[in-house]
């Protein structure tokens, strides 16, 4: 295992801190001075309509994008200047699975584990655990590109969990899955609670209620609500919360 991987402590989860985080694309302000703290071991929901800034935030945390202003850190490490330290702590499953379609499922998972520093018995155990956890054993010899969208989504999730990272970021994790396998994924996310930090990006408010302890709601790049999931979502005027009128963008923050 690499030095960066051995220095993490997945039993505790990772802390994420954003301070005045902004990202602009030309004239478009995708994220506007976002400040929030996600505690180690917390299951945290990131909510908002399309274009709210959720994906931009995720890409800033992973280092895929650079901020226009402000900072974000994972366990105190910057994805801008200390990318290796951040990536060693991170597992990420995008809404649209990004896989190598010519590989077989088990071969892809072995490849994903190797580039994260796993090898030998540890790699064998991690791959076996991932295949069982996401009910992929029967598809282990199938070519990834020949799988249905739902199976590909499960392979994508399996690679994110493979190395038991302290921080898991999952974007619409049950999209494209049938109801049975939606519950498989939700059970895995429940199991991660407390031992790993989970950032769940979802449009499904019921899923957020069932899987998260706190949520942040974004609208046009601004934070409009932050608090315990039940306090933010239950009994709220959801239309006003997710589509606030001009001037109300910060009225619901708690």
pLDDT digits (tens, 9 = 90+) for 114-133: 999 999 999 999 999 999 98
Asked if 153 and 183 sit in the same domain, the reply is: no
Residue 249 has pLDDT above 70, yes or no: no
Asked if 153 and 172 sit in the same domain, the reply is: no
Asked if 156 and 184 sit in the same domain, the reply is: no
CA nearest to 213, candidates 203, 227, 196, 223: 227
* Concatenated DSSP letters of 176-202: T--HHHHHHHHHHHHHHBTTBEEEEE-
Q: Is 68 contained in some domain?
A: yes
Asked if 212 and 138 sit in the same domain, the reply is: no
pLDDT of residue 6: 40
Asked if 160 and 66 sit in the same domain, the reply is: no
The pLDDT of 80-94, averaged and rounded, is: 94
Q: Is 1 contained in some domain?
A: no
Contact 111, 93 (CB under 8 A): no
Q: What is the pLDDT of residues 16-71, one digit of tens each?
A: 999 999 999 999 999 999 999 999 999 999 999 888 999 999 999 999 999 999 99
pLDDT of residue 212: 95
CA nearest to 48, candidates 233, 227, 218, 208: 218
The pLDDT of 139-144, averaged and rounded, is: 96
Q: What is the mean pLDDT of the chain?
A: 88
Q: Is 2 contained in some domain?
A: no
Q: Which of 131, 148, 164 is the endpoint of a domain?
A: 164
Q: What is the pLDDT of residues 165-192, one digit of tens each?
A: 999 999 988 887 888 888 888 888 888 8
Asked if 74 and 177 sit in the same domain, the reply is: yes
Q: Is 4 contained in some domain?
A: no
- Token pair, residue 68, equals 């226009």
Higher pLDDT, 78 or 177: 78
Q: What are phi and psi of 69, to 5 degrees?
A: -155, 160
Contact 221, 48 (CB under 8 A): no
Asked if 182 and 201 sit in the same domain, the reply is: yes
Q: Is 94 contained in some domain?
A: no
pLDDT of residue 254: 52
Asked if 107 and 65 sit in the same domain, the reply is: no
pLDDT of residue 234: 85
Q: What is the pLDDT of residues 2-16, one digit of tens each?
A: 344 444 444 489 999
Asked if 67 and 109 sit in the same domain, the reply is: no
Tell me the CATH number at 219: 3.40.50.300
Q: Quick check: helix, strand or coil at residue 25?
A: strand
Q: Is 113 contained in some domain?
A: yes
Q: What are phi and psi of 240, to 5 degrees?
A: -70, -35
Q: Is 245 contained in some domain?
A: yes
Residue 208 has pLDDT above 90, yes or no: yes
Asked if 21 and 70 sit in the same domain, the reply is: yes
Angle (CA) 209-35-216 rounded to 5° is 10
Total structural domains in the chain? 2
Asked if 172 and 61 sit in the same domain, the reply is: yes
- HSE (side-chain half, CA atoms, 13 Å) at 187: 10
Q: Which of 146, 164, 182 is the endpoint of a domain?
A: 164
CA nearest to 54, candidates 242, 253, 207: 242
Domain carrying residue 235: 9-89+167-254
User: 235 — alpha (psi -120 to 50), left (phi > 0) or beta?
Assistant: left
Q: Which of 129, 164, 199 is the endpoint of a domain?
A: 164
Asked if 121 and 159 sit in the same domain, the reply is: yes
């Amino acid at each position: 295992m690499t030095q960066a991987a051995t220095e993490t402590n997945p039993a505790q989860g990772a802390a994420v801190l954003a301070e005045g985080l902004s990202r602009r694309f030309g004239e478009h302000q995708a994220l506007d001075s976002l400040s929030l703290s996600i505690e180690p071991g917390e299951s945290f929901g990131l909510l908002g309509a399309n274009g709210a800034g959720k994906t931009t935030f995720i890409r800033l945390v992973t280092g895929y994008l650079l901020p226009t202003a402000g900072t974000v850190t994972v366990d105190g490490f910057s994805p801008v200047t200390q990318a290796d330290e951040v990536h060693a702590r991170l597992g990420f499953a995008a809404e649209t699975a990004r896989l190598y379609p010519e590989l077989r499922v088990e071969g892809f998972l072995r490849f994903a584990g190797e580039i994260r520093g796993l090898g030998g018995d540890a790699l064998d155990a991690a791959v076996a655990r991932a295949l069982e956890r996401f009910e992929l054993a029967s598809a282990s010899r199938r070519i990834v590109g020949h799988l249905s969208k739902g199976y590909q989504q499960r392979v994508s999730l399996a690679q994110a969990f493979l190395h038991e990272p302290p921080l898991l970021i999952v974007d619409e994790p049950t999209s494209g899955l049938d109801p049975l396998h939606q519950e498989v994924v939700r059970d895995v996310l429940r199991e991660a609670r407390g031992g790993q930090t989970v950032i769940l990006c979802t449009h499904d408010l019921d899923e957020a209620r069932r899987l998260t302890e706190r949520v942040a709601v974004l609208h046009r790049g601004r934070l409009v609500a932050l608090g315990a999931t039940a306090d933010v979502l239950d009994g709220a005027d959801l239309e006003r919360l997710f589509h606030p009128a001009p001037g109300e963008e910060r009225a619901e923050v708690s």
